[in-house]
Amino acid sequence: MNQVEHSSEPDKLSPMRLTAVNRRFAVAPMMELSDRHFRYLARLLTRHSLLYTEMLTCKAVIHGDREYLLGTGDVDHPVVLQLGGADPIEMAEAASIAQSWGYDEVNINVGCPSDRVQSGRFGACLMAEPDTVASIVKAMQNSVSVPVSVKCRLGIDRDDSYDALEQFVNVVRDAGCEHFIVHARKAWLDGLSPKENRTIPPLRYPYVYRLKETLPDLHITINGGIDTWQDVQMHLQHVDGVMSGRKAYYTPSFLGKADQSVFADLADAKPELSDAHALAAVARSYAQYVQGWVDQGIRASALTRHMVALYHDMPGARKWRRHLSENAVNCSDVVQLVEDGLAYVLTTTDAPPNTGFNQPSPSA
């Protein structure tokens, strides 16, 4: 285990901390969805999007099975580990472990409203305790050299004014945090389930824009209900980055347009991967990856579940989904399973275009 040193000196704000990674478009942290296998699939579709892990509690990182929890492939980068917790010392130790596992950034969850998280006094309820968040940020910054960021809501319960949001951000910024991801709706801690808290409170994008206007030195990423590339571009006129969650997971082909839409100026941006044949190349490559895990004894369905929506809204999508769902459980030949499924979505009369698709390579 890494030794963590805690300095009583406040960490110096380094304006260069954020420059190494391009944060214009990110795939959100999603419990039980954005595991390392989904991230592998996502990386086949987009080389440059910033990928977030599911939230891990700092205690799990410190005491749990690290290979299982933190193991991540080279191709994942740039990748951010999201941590949940409220104790600065434990959060700092977990951040240091995350850094030693190669994560490019460590993010603090200040947005999850679940009862389990509230009972641990972290997640969205920390929006009422900016000083605690500031202490966590300071302790983490002092133990790692990678950036420490915060993902938060607009507010909680009745404490949902713009001024309260700005005050929260100011206190946390003074502790050294330069990157805030704001899910542009508040959370009701009592009475709404986490799922309802992702749909019922209204989206208020202008609060996030105003935050960027008021604090232009911060890197502000907006999140919540952003489902088209046109909207991504529109938000990028106001803020530094956009994060997508459900659209990216439930319609992964959306990610096949990320590099062209947002990172086209970067030399190794992928060509747009959206037609059935380009997606088939992705599916075949992912199948090879899954096969490697199956050969080590992992159930295929635990990994193929991430690609059942690959053809969402395209001809043959339902049959593709059903084929994978029904046949993956005890499958030992995933390559053949996927090949059989592709027969439902590829029409034989279409010639495969030159997609320019290759295996993902670690980004610099």
Ligand X SMILES: Cc1cc2nc3c(=O)[nH]c(=O)nc-3n(C[C@H](O)[C@H](O)[C@H](O)COP(=O)(O)O)c2cc1C
Peptide linkage before 78 cis (omega within 30 of 0): yes
Number of Cβ within 10 Å of residue 331's Cβ equals 19
Residue type, 201: P
Q: Does 225 bind ligand X (CB under 6 A)?
A: yes
User: How near is the Cβ of 347 to ligand X at its closest, in Å?
Assistant: 32
User: How near is the Cβ of 59 to ligand X at its closest, in Å?
Assistant: 15
Are 159 and 127 contacting, i.e. CB atoms less than 8 angstroms apart? yes
Q: Does 112 participate in catalysis according to the annotation?
A: yes
Q: Does 85 bind ligand X (CB under 6 A)?
A: no
Q: Does 33 bind ligand X (CB under 6 A)?
A: yes
- From residue 364, how far is each of 98, 276, 304, 361 by CA, in Å? 19, 29, 28, 9
Count the residues in the chain: 364
Q: In this complex, which beta carbon is closest to ligand X, that of residue 124 or of residue 324?
A: 124
User: How near is the Cβ of 327 to ligand X at its closest, in Å?
Assistant: 25
Q: Does 70 bind ligand X (CB under 6 A)?
A: no
Q: Does 29 bind ligand X (CB under 6 A)?
A: yes
User: How near is the Cβ of 337 to ligand X at its closest, in Å?
Assistant: 25
Q: Does 111 bind ligand X (CB under 6 A)?
A: yes
Q: Does 30 bind ligand X (CB under 6 A)?
A: yes
Q: Is 149 helix (H, G, I), strand (E, B) or coil?
A: strand
Number of Cβ within 10 Å of residue 116's Cβ equals 11
The Cα 350–Cα 364 span in angstroms is 36
Q: Does 183 bind ligand X (CB under 6 A)?
A: yes
The Cα 80–Cα 233 span in angstroms is 23
Q: Footprint of ligand X on residues 144-163 (CB under 6 A)?
A: 151
Q: Per CB under 6 A, which region of 222-230, 284-292, 318-326, 331-339 contacts ligand X?
A: 222-230
The Cα 123–Cα 116 span in angstroms is 10
Active-site positions read 112
Instruction: Give the interface with ligand X as residue ranges (CB under 6 A).
Output: 28-31, 33, 54-55, 82, 109, 111-112, 151, 183, 198, 223-226, 244-247
